[in-house]
Amino acid sequence: MREYLLTLCVTVAVTYLLTGPVRKFAIAAGAMPEIRARDVHREPTPRLGGIAMFGGLCAGLLVADHLTNLNGVFELSNEPRALLSGAALIWLIGVLDDKFEIDALIKLGAQMISAGVMVMQGLTILWIPVPFIGTVALTQWQGNLLTVALVVITINAVNFVDGLDGLAAGMVCIAAAAFFMYAYRIWFGYGIEAAAPATLFAAILMGMCLGFLPHNMHPARIFMGDSGSMLIGLVLAAAAISITGQVDPDAMALYAQGERNATHAMLPVFIPLILPLTIIAIPMADLVLAIVRRTWKGQSPFAADRGHLHHRLLELGHSHSRAVLIMYFWSGLIAFGTVAYSVHSATMWIVLAIAALSAVGLILLLLPRFTPRAPRWAEGLVPPRYRHRPMPVGRETAADTGAGDGSLAPARAAAGGEAAAAGTPASYGLHGATALSAVSAGRGGTDTKERERT
């Protein structure tokens, strides 16, 4: 565990320290696209954050290669090299897209090529344990196609959810943490050394996300861009594929006294690969809904819009930060709930706890539907919007009078509208009195000039 923690800390440090210089480079390179209709941010923000994340990936793999125990991962397996080669290719395509806006079909082809590069080096799915049936061996073509499909789906799921500051990095970090816990349990709990690469990939992925998050939280100073979102999606998929393609179900059967029991014990890891990946179920659901929504409208599945889950949370009335935290909550509930159930599937307490937390999540989703008010004795401890104090007469705020949207009567009176000037100052508060006096002064000046002409 200490070597995994050291690798994690090095990855976090390198990613964090590189992000600042990368931000300056992105600004100098002009990787700051204009604000689009679907964007949530209001100011042009540099992208290319994936450069720092790729640096963290390389640093994590380099440190792990020189550690006593983790060095065996590189000596006994070619998976780290397969991951690095596939990640380098998808990262390069992402960098070009962040700068020059590559066509979506070209990016899709690059994703498939990156997955194929990893498959050629041995990072592929060899078999699928099916609950209550046993191990189903795959042919070479079946395994390769399933691996490529899983990589492409995971990359696009992460890419689609990257719409709010800190959202994609935080959700992938939560998924990687849950995956690390289960892979580490297989490695040291079951004594299956083939799970070591997946454990290492999950630890490095956590470090990449944690090192980038301080720069990406709202308000973000830099975006990861496609160079980052596609990169972390590929690393997450590689970790899942590694544990499927290399962990021998027969070894699990020896530990669990029976192949079917072993398959049931591995269910929380392998079912995500079939469904795929419940550990990123929220991004996956967002991906499926986006494809259905755009296809139903006759648009391309890759056409961007403002219909993602995080956009809908903002439309419900949630703030930017609260929407991100709600997505974190649901991702953590699904990911860690799956891991907890895999460890203690015989007890009902896990199911009851997940159900209770789901109810809490529904309450959080509906929070903007009502305006909670704090007790009067606690008004000094909460923001003004949760207090009972009435507004004094003549002290209405801009929100109460409509000043924020430019539709209030005093604004029209200041522009010379006759209907607005007919109102009394008391009905508009101080703003109304000021506006009416300005109108009166304007009329007086006009009358004087007319008399001078005559």
Summarize pLDDT for 157-180 with one digit per residue, the tens.
Answer: 888 777 778 888 998 998 889 888
One domain for residues 291 and 429: no
Give a yes or no: residue 389 inside a domain.
no
Give a yes or no: residue 388 inside a domain.
no
Alpha-carbon distances, residue 106 vs 32, 38, 100, 101, 155 (angstroms): 21, 22, 12, 10, 14
One domain for residues 421 and 364: no
One domain for residues 185 and 111: yes
Rounded to whole angstroms, the Cα distance separating 104 from 94 reads 11
pTM above 0.75, yes or no: no
Number of folded domains in the chain? 2
One domain for residues 83 and 156: yes
One domain for residues 250 and 330: yes
- Per-residue model confidence (pLDDT) at position 210: 95
One domain for residues 362 and 259: yes
Residues of the domain holding 94: 2-369
Instruction: Give the phi and the psi of residue 33 in degrees, each rounded to 5.
Output: -65, 155
∠341-1-79 over CA atoms, to 5°?
85
One domain for residues 339 and 436: no
433 pLDDT more than 60: no
- Per-residue model confidence (pLDDT) at position 426: 38
Give a yes or no: residue 382 inside a domain.
no
- Contacts for 229 with CB less than 8 Å, ≥ 6 apart: 50, 94, 155, 158, 159, 162, 168
One domain for residues 82 and 186: yes
> Which among 311, 346, 369 is the end of a domain?
369
> Which among 318, 352, 369 is the end of a domain?
369
**Per residue in 386-412, pLDDT tens?**
666 554 444 444 434 343 344 333 343
- Contacts for 28 with CB less than 8 Å, ≥ 6 apart: none
Using an 8 Å Cβ cutoff, are 403 and 439 in contact? no
Task: Give the CA diameter of the chain.
Answer: 111
420 pLDDT more than 50: no
One domain for residues 361 and 453: no
- Per-residue model confidence (pLDDT) at position 398: 41
> Which among 302, 336, 369 is the end of a domain?
369
One domain for residues 364 and 415: no
Give a yes or no: residue 114 inside a domain.
yes
Give a yes or no: residue 39 inside a domain.
yes
- Joined together, the tokens standing for residue 290 give 């986006």
Least confident of 13-17, 75-79, 383-387: 383-387
- Per-residue model confidence (pLDDT) at position 59: 96
Q: Report the relative pairing of strands 127-130 and 134-137 from DSSP bridges.
A: antiparallel
- Per-residue model confidence (pLDDT) at position 265: 54
Give a yes or no: residue 198 inside a domain.
yes
One domain for residues 22 and 145: yes
Give the sign of the dihedral formed by CA 281, CA 114, CA 223, CA 181: positive
Rounded to whole angstroms, the Cα distance separating 417 from 402 reads 17
One domain for residues 21 and 115: yes
Share of the chain above pLDDT 90, in %: 27
Nearest one of 218, 406, 221 to 314, comparing CA atoms:
218
